[in-house]
Amino acid sequence: MVRAPSRAELEAAHCWEADDRVPRDPAMTAFRRAVRYHQAQWREARGHPTGTQPIAPRAGDDRVRLVGSRMPLDYARATGANFMTPASRRAATERTARVEPHQTFDHQRVWADLLSSQALAFNLFGDLAADHVRANDAVHTWWPDADGSVVDVRFAHSPGRLDSSYLANLRVFDTAFVLESDDGARGVIAIDTKYHERAKPETPRPENVPRYIEVADRSRMFRPRAIDDLRRRSDLAEVWLEHLLLHSMLQHPNAGWSWGRYVVIYPTGNTHIADACVRYATLLSDRSTFNTATVEELLDARALRRSTQAALRSRYLPA
């Protein structure tokens, strides 16, 4: 268990947030408070100013309060301080400048919120987006059975938001590694990155459920009656729908995907996400397209530059 700072420590760092408490889960509560406090200490040690709630306050708003795990938005955009390397900052800049159809992208959190999981994705994989040779080495270190060579790295990506030939919803992958083999076959490793989040119950949109069931049935990945449970309100809804998004790509008649894998990445201390992934895996009869990895496992594999590994450990993993 990560040691949670005291309330006095958290309040002094502008990190006492009621929402960090997870009912009946002291380990996850401790983790959420610890990483928020750690991010505030990281920011303070580097001389970055303290941000606020809301992230971009309006002049004269007397409800504004300081939040230690954020930076002021204008400062964060100007400095790129939420990103660990020039390549990760460049990847974030390029992605936020480009608009995919129907996208909903929280620009403010990506730039200014130190707890942002999308920012973590840029920091983990931004260097690889700039160097496909290194990306290929890293992908095959982490997933040795991946077929083909990396030809693209995409962030905050969906193959088709609101497109009924996929899932007709707004689900995205934080990162997608596109691979191509010598015979032209394409594969994708689609990644969901978690950091401070917990698994929250969610109800799939009723009007989309028939399409979800169709994709799930065609995938032949689920145990009997598992879909009946997943279609209802559940804290497994997010992982189910993103896994289905991958399968909708594999089933698409014109997309040309030969294989794919959906991977959830989270720090070891995030027991909520770890438990949700374990429970989700028990509903699968075939786990070949579903995988998990911890941030620590990715860094321990030494697939990234040594300096980047060290910076990521210092930034994201409280001792």
Tell me the whole-structure pTM to 2 decimals: 0.97
d(CA 302, CA 232) in angstroms, rounded, equals: 40
| Parts of the chain with a pLDDT under 50 | none
Express each pLDDT in 25-84 by its tens digit: 999 999 999 999 999 999 999 999 999 999 999 988 888 999 999 999 999 999 999 999
d(CA 58, CA 219) in angstroms, rounded, equals: 48
What is the biggest distance separating any 2 CA atoms in the chain, rounded to whole angstroms?
Answer: 62
Helices (H), ranges, 143-236:
209-219, 226-230
DSSP state of 204: -
d(CA 76, CA 114) in angstroms, rounded, equals: 10
pLDDT score at 1: 61
Using alpha carbons only, give the angle 284, 241, 99 rounded to the nearest 5 degrees: 145
d(CA 299, CA 267) in angstroms, rounded, equals: 11
Helices (H), ranges, 98-219:
107-112, 117-129, 132-142, 209-219
Judge whether 318 and 2 are in contact, CB under 8 Å: yes
